[in-house]
Structures are given as structure tokens and as C-alpha cells.
Structure 1
Amino acid sequence: MEQTIFQHMQIVRGITEKSIQQIPEEIADIIPNGFTNNIRWNFGHIAYIQEKLVFGVSGEKMILPQAYETFFSAGTKPADWIGIAPSIAEISVELIAQKQRIKDSLPGSLQKRLPEPFTNKAGITFHTLGETFLFSFYHEALHIETIKRIYRAIKN
């Protein structure tokens, strides 16, 4: 079963990687009417939350640059940014590297209990690394759909 889970991660992240490669930098910061965030924020948020759900909540060191928390953590938005957020190209590099770190470090660890239960903003409580890892696929898919909606709104 673990192999199937890691194959699923490859599929989900592959969709994300293909999507980010199709986004021109010049539209990455447009926030269409009805949206709070832009495409850049959504991709950076995917990277940050994946890092937190896989490494942070289990007590492991988070490798992403500190700027990712500042710009892309839950509750942040581009309207509040001070400074320059990572580029689409930089986020793409981090997403690819993150996938490899997960492949290298997680096998055999999915049943590992978290140091303390983690409850997300939706009120869901997780007890194991596998639970947060599996939830991260759902989270990533939600934001890919949001990116598609923002992209369509920009093109229209």
C-alpha cells in the first residue's frame, strides 16, 4: 500500500509541476475579481503546506526558505506582502526538490505518530505522518483547481 501512496504523490505533484510550467511569470500576480490570492501565492502555498504537513508537524526540519512561510502560509495574501515573493521559476524548483526529499525520507514512516496531534484550520485532527501526508494530496488538488479558475478568469 505504501508504494501506491508514493505513486499517487508522483501523480499529484506531476500535475502541479506541469501546471506551473505553463504559467507565464507576467500573469502570476494578477488577482481577478472574486479572488483573494494569485497564481504565485497558490503554488507557493502548495509548497509551504506540503512542507509543513510532511516535515513540520512531525518535528522534522523544514527545508523550504523562510520566505515561504512569510509569503505563503495559511491566512497570508499578496495584498499584505512586504518584499519580493519567490518567482514562479523558484517555486517550481522547490516543488521538484520537495518531491525528492519526500521520496527519500518518508518510506517506512507513514505510521509514525506525530509528536502531538495536529488540527488543521478545517478542524481535522491528525495523529500520524501518513494522515497528514495523505491529506496533503487533497490540499494540493484544491489549490490546483483554484489556479485553473484564476487562469481562466485572467484569460477571459
Structure 2
Amino acid sequence: MEQTIFNHMQVVRGITEKSIQQIPEELADIVPTGFTNNIRWNFGHIAYIQEKLLFGVSGQKMTLPEAYEVFFSAGTKPANWIETPPSLTAISGELIAQKQRIRDYLPGNLQKRLPEPFTNKAGITFHTLGETFLFSFYHEALHMESIKRIYRAIKN
């Protein structure tokens, strides 16, 4: 079953990687009417939350640049950015590198208990690394749908 889960991660992250490579940089920062975030924020948020859900909550070192928390953590938005955020190319590179770190770290650790239970903003409590990992697929898909909706709004 563990291999099936890792294969699913490859599929989900593969969709994300393909999508970020198809978005022109000049469209990444547009926040259409009715939205609070842009395409760049959503891709960066996917990377940051995945890092937090797998490495941060399990007590491992988070290796994304520290600026990702400032730009892309829950509750942030582009309207509050003071500095220049990472390029889509940089975010893409982080997503690819993160996938490999996950493949190196997680095998055999899905049942590993978190140092302390982690409750997300939706009120869901996780006790194991496997629980946070499985939730991350749902989270990534939600933000990929947001990216699609923002892209459609920009194009229309």
C-alpha cells in the first residue's frame, strides 16, 4: 500500500509541476476580481504547506527558503507583500526538490507518530505522518483548482 501512496504523490505533484511550467510569469501576479490570491501565491502555498505538513510537524528541518513562510503561509496574501516573491521557476524548482526529499524521508515512516498532534485551521487533527501526507494530496488539489479558476478568470 505504501508504494501506491507514493505513486499517487507522483501523479498529484506531476500535475502541479506540469501546470506551473505552462503558466506565463506575466500572469502569475494578477488577482482577478473575486479572488484574494494569485497563481504565484497558490503554487508557493502548495510548496510551503507540504513542507510544513511533512517536515515541520514531524520535527524535521524544513528546507524551503524562510521567505516562503512570509509569502505563502496560511493567511498571507499578495496584497500584503512588501518584497519581491520567488519566481515561478524558483517555486517550480522547490516543488521538484521537495518531491525528492519526500521520497527519501517518508518510506517506512507513514505510521510514525507526530511529536504532538497537529490541528490545522479547518480543525482536523493529525496524529501520524501518514495522515498529514494523505491530507496534503487534498490540499494540493484544492489549490490546483484555485489556480485553474484564476487562470480562467484572467483569460476571460
Q: Deviations over 1:44-96 (max 9, x none)?
A: 00000000000000000000000100000000000001101000000000000
Task: Give the partner amino acid of 1:77.
Answer: K
Measure the CA separation in 1 of the matches of 2:54 and 2:15. 19
Task: Give the partner amino acid of 1:71.
Answer: F
> What is the TM-score when the length of structure 2 is the normalising length?
1.00
Partner of 2:42: 42
Partner of 2:79: 79
Partner of 1:65: 65
After superposition, residues 86-125 of structure 1 pair within 5 angstroms as: 86-125=86-125
After superposition, residues 113-152 of structure 1 pair within 5 angstroms as: 113-152=113-152
SS of residue in 2 equivalent to 1:62: coil
Aligned residues: 156
Measure the CA separation in 2 of the matches of 1:67 and 1:86. 9
Task: Give the partner amino acid of 2:47.
Answer: A
Unpaired segments of 5 or more residues in structure 1?
Answer: none
SS of residue in 2 equivalent to 1:117: strand
SS of residue in 2 equivalent to 1:108: coil
Q: Deviations over 1:114-139 (max 9, x none)?
A: 00000000000000000000000000
Measure the CA separation in 1 of the matches of 2:104 and 2:59. 17
SS of residue in 2 equivalent to 1:118: strand
SS of residue in 1 equivalent to 2:116: strand
Percent identity at matched positions? 85
Q: Deviations over 1:131-155 (max 9, x none)?
A: 0000000000000000000000000
Unpaired segments of 5 or more residues in structure 2?
Answer: none
Measure the CA separation in 1 of the matches of 2:114 and 2:81. 32
Partner of 1:51: 51
Partner of 2:22: 22
